[in-house]
Each structure stands twice: as C-alpha cells, then as structure tokens.
Amino acid sequence: MFSLMANCCNWLKRWQEPARKVTLVMVGLDNAGKTATVRGIQGDNPRDVAPTVGFSKVDLKQGKFEVTIFDLGGGKRIRGIWKNYYSESHGVVFVVDSSDVQRIQETRETMAEVLQHPRIAGKPVLVLANKQDQEGALAEADIIENLSLEKLVNENKCLCQIEPCSAVLGYGKKVDKSIKKGLNWLLSNIAKDYEAITERVQKDTAEQRALEEQDKKERAERVRRIREESIGSEHMRICAPEVIKEVSL
C-alpha cells in the first residue's frame, strides 16, 4: 500500500514537472542519412530529402522533452560551422553511412574531432550506424572497431550508445525501432544529468556569445579604420595638387 502511494506520488511529481528543453546536434559526413533520420523522426517521408546546404533546425516533442535538433550539413567545407552549435547542445547524434566503407577513415577522423572538442567532450553521444539495409553494410562490431569507438569515448568521457539502423525503413510511428531506442537512450541519459549539462550549456553559450560579440566589435573597428584610412588617402589625393602648388610658390 505504502509503495503504491509512493509510486503515485512519484508519477504525479514527474507529471507536474515542466517540459525539459533539450538541444541536440546531428552530425556526420554528407550523405550519411542525417536529414532522412530527422525527417523520419519528425513523421515525414525520409526519402524526400534534398541535400542540407547549411543547416536545418527541427523542433519536436518527445514525451516530456521539447527537443531541438540542428541537422548540420556534412560536406567537408561546411563542417567548420559545426562548432558554432556545440555549446548549446546537450548531446550529439552522429550518423554513419555503414555501407560507405571507402569513407570510414574520414568518418573516424571527423568523429574524433567532434568528440575531442572541449564543448562536446563529456556529453552523451548516440551513434546511428545507418543504411543497414544496404548490401555490404558494416555490422555494429566492425563500425566500433573501424571508428576506434571505445578508445574515443573513453578518452573523451562521453557516454555512448551505437544503434545499427535504417533511416528509410519507415517514418513517424513506423520509424526504425533502433532509431527510437537510440533517441530514448540519449534523452534519458541527458535527463539523468540534466541540471549539470544545462549549466554547462548556459555557461558555454554565454562565453561563445561574448566571444562573438567581441569579434563583431573588432570587425566593426577594423572596417571603421579601413574607411578612415581610405578617406584620408582620398583627401590626400584631392589635396596633393594644392600642396605642390604651395611648395612651388
């Protein structure tokens, strides 16, 4: 009887808790299936995808979580923007094209860079070993080995879960169960440490904004100086004939 009441109280407490806002960054090489995955979770057909040029932001409700996912373009030249989203992220979804054996080394290097980043290290990471429906796709154990995943997550103190999946299997309620399971794992691990991660997110975001602000001011100052200098040399050019005249008088 007592335990029933305690359970009811816990349930009521959880039910009354406000929704938790969680931001996730979704990264991985171009063509890994990031957008297809997000679309499937969102309830849209994952096969209707266009390449993500910069980034897309998706908001969804997952149980008690209000989740924002930044689906970032994975092309080599655009990967530089990823770090701008790290500070506000509570966790990472790293999507791997398991069928692209040729690029597994590039995937390994890219993942290492993400996990080693000071604004990511220590945060929970979900690895989606995508495209398992493709012939020749690497199995979970091969992906772990090829990416040196154990070493990488241990060195960077990231909790990690890998889910072999296929983003195009279904969508909405029929999305691949492994994707759902992985997302639930990620959110529940963020929830376990929510206060600490959120505090870190707020501190890092404030620091990043301050740096951006400083950068903006320095850029404005540089532009102002360049303008002043060019006005000065323009003035010199206009004045120069007069000066020569004065000298020759």
Is the distance from CB of 147 to CB of 108 less than 8 angstroms?
yes
Stretch that binds ligand G3D, among 2-10, 57-65, 162-170, 229-237 (CB under 6 A): 162-170
52 binding ligand G3D? (CB under 6 A): yes
Taking CB under 6 A as the criterion, the residue among 22, 24, 41, 74 binding ligand G3D is 74
Site string for ligand G3D, 94-123 (x = CB under 6 A): -x----------------------------
- Is 35 annotated as contributing to ligand binding? yes
Rounded Cα distance, 211 and 176, in Å:
41
The answer to whether the annotation marks 83 as part of a ligand binding site is no
Which of 44, 66, 113, 133 binds ligand G3D (CB under 6 A)? It is 133
* Nearest CB to ligand G3D, comparing residues 71 and 88: 71
Cβ proximity to ligand G3D, 49 vs 191, nearer residue: 49
Is 64 within any annotated ligand binding site?
no
The CB-of-5 to ligand G3D minimum distance in angstroms stands at 47
Cβ-based nearer residue to ligand G3D, 39 or 119: 39
Q: How long, in residues, is the chain?
A: 249
127 lies in the site for ligand G3D, by CB under 6 A: no
- Nearest approach, Cβ of residue 27 and ligand G3D (Å): 9
Would you count residue 40 as binding ligand G3D (CB under 6 A)?
A: no
Distances (CA, A) of 168 to 157, 164, 205, 240: 31, 13, 34, 71
User: Measured from the CB atom, is 36 or 158 closer to ligand G3D?
Assistant: 36
Is 91 an interacting residue with respect to ligand G3D (CB under 6 A)?
A: no
Q: Which tokens in the block code for residue 188?
A: 């529940």
Residues tagged in the binding site annotation for Mg(2+): 35, 52
- Residues engaged in binding ligand G3D (CB under 6 A): 28, 30-36, 47, 49, 51-52, 74, 95, 130-131, 133-134, 166-168
